[in-house]
Amino acid sequence: MNAPAPRIDGCLETAIYVDDLARAARFYETTLGLSPMFSDERLVAYDCGPRSVLLLFLRGATTETVRLPGGEIPPHDGFGRMHFALATPAEDMERWERRLGETGVAIEARMEWPRGGRSLYFRDPDGNLVEIASPGLWANY
């Protein structure tokens, strides 16, 4: 392997697994205001900004190969409490804190990062750890 790897342009999809798809969809649509781009009995796909999709999969519903007209999707699944972060402008962090409080979502932790970013951590109905983060968290964000 002497040649460099081809370029990666970002992380397109983040997948989490939930026990009750309808309950999880209500949380993500009502609390976070996300809009579904696609849904069926095994998944809901949300627009999370430019080239970013959050996928909610019904736990156990993707353990078989899915055959579609254009090809196949190999099986996958996940267990346990997962973590992902959603990006927001720094000026919206206080609005997010208020919105979470107004919708009855407990903030589990807050973090102020050395680069100036801030994070709010809370749980979805399946116990997944959701983070809302402002710029200044990573060197590239």
Which CATH number characterizes residue 56's domain?
A: 3.10.180.10
> Is residue 2 in a domain?
no
> Is residue 56 in a domain?
yes
Question: pLDDT tens across 16-27, in order?
Answer: 999 999 999 999
> Is residue 4 in a domain?
no
Sheet holding 107-112, edge to edge: 83-87, 129-133, 118-123, 107-112
Residue 134 dihedral angles phi and psi, to the nearest 5°: -100, 165
Which residue range forms the structural domain that includes residue 122? Answer: 13-133
Question: pLDDT tens across 37-58, in order?
Answer: 999 999 999 999 999 999 999 9
Question: pLDDT tens across 82-107, in order?
Answer: 999 999 999 999 999 999 999 999 99
Contact at 8 Å (CB) between 77 and 65?
no
- Band (pLDDT 50/70/90 cuts) for residue 128 is very high
> Is residue 115 in a domain?
yes
Q: How many CA atoms lie within 13 A of 83 on its CB side?
A: 7
Domains contained in the chain, number: 1
Contact at 8 Å (CB) between 117 and 136?
yes
> Is residue 139 in a domain?
no
Sheet holding 13-18, edge to edge: 13-18, 53-58, 43-47, 36-39
pTM over 0.85: yes
| % of the chain at pLDDT higher than 90 | 95
- Band (pLDDT 50/70/90 cuts) for residue 136 is very high
1 has a pLDDT exceeding 90: no
> Is residue 141 in a domain?
no
CA distances from 127 to 52, 74, 117, 131, 137 (A): 22, 26, 24, 12, 23
> Is residue 85 in a domain?
yes
> Is residue 48 in a domain?
yes
The secondary structure of residue 97, as a DSSP letter, is H
Return the pLDDT at 15.
Answer: 97
